Amino acid sequence: MTEGNFVDYVKIHINSGNGGKGSAHLHREKYVAKGGPDGGDGGRGGHVILRGNKNLWTLFHLKFKRHVKAGHGEHGSKQRSTGADGEDQYIDVPLGTVVRDTETQEILHEITEDGQEIVIAEGGKGGLGNWNFKSSVNQTPRYAQPGIPGEEVDVTLELKILADVGLVGFPNAGKSTLLSVITAAKPKIADYEFTTLKPNLGIVQYRDFKTFVVADIPGIIEGAAEGKGIGHRFLRHIERNSTLLFLVPADAPDIKKQYEILVDELRRYNPEMLDKDRLIAISKSDMLDEELKAELKAELDQNLGAPYLFISSVSQQGLTELKDRLWEMLNKEAV
């Protein structure tokens, strides 16, 4: 999937269908005197329904569909005939989609399972026909109920990627390169910052045909939680990752400081992110000889205070150990 096809935020105006009018018909037949009321009920207006679809990865199919209208209910007719219900409109969305009220930003619903259906806007009820109002004191009612109008609402659909592992790091830390090596994903890779402008997903093939999903989140910079750079637009995707893999390049001026800045940005965006399992990967470690690596390891053991390992996507150094560690962290509760 190209970056231009990745859409994780859309606003939609929704109209459910109006209920049909009830009929005020009076029975007329040649050999039936005073047949009485026989007006049928109006049909229900169509619902607008959100439906989870595991085959979708983005909201791109809704990018140019900003108005969704359900069908109106048919009116009731004679012989107590009920009008047909309005046609329901389904909006298929990927798993991990959050529905917000556009005006208040209140979270209304959340789609997390395939086939899960949530009615966003209910269709209006059909009006009752006049035969419902017949009684001993009102044997010929000449009135019926109108249908109830449908709902009109503006909603924002916001996708939060459902991935097992989220790659977190500064721009140009090697996240896209790592993703391209351990998965079949083909993210854009270049030697300048902010190469990745949209999140990328990849499936890691582990031993015995086991798999887990890794998400490459666009680079975060200091101040991203306040809106600097582009990372703040995608911090929400990290909320759904059960494990966070921090990538810090081996040639960074201060590895500990870079790691602490990244952790602080996550904390300022959502303190609950600090409860997730964390692993630090020192990328581009093929630039280090054994002596430099030993010195760096001694320093990190004393100061870093978090589990880490050395990797190199180019030379594929430490990638097997990385997969093993990630798999253990993802399945520690099952062990």
Alpha-carbon distance 294 to 15, whole Å? Answer: 64
- Which helix H or strand E contains 273, and what residues bound it? none
Alpha-carbon distance 18 to 21, whole Å? Answer: 9
- Which helix H or strand E contains 267, and what residues bound it? helix 255-269
Alpha-carbon distance 300 to 254, whole Å? Answer: 10
- Burial of 241: CB neighbours in 10 Å, binned 0-12, 13-18, 19+: buried
Contacts for 163 with CB less than 8 Å, ≥ 6 apart:
201, 213, 214, 215, 237, 240, 241
Identify the three-state secondary structure at position 181. helix
Q: Which residue ranges make up the annotated binding site for Mg(2+)?
A: 176, 196
Q: Which residue ranges make up the annotated binding site for GTP?
A: 169-176, 194-198, 216-219, 283-286, 312-314
Contacts for 268 with CB less than 8 Å, ≥ 6 apart:
225, 226
Residue 7 contacts residue 125 (beta carbons within 8 Å): no
Output the six-digit token pair for 260.
């602490």
Question: What's the distance, CA 192 to chain centroid?
Answer: 29
Contacts for 198 with CB less than 8 Å, ≥ 6 apart:
3, 6, 8, 218
Residue 8 contacts residue 162 (beta carbons within 8 Å): no
Alpha-carbon distance 319 to 272, whole Å? Answer: 29
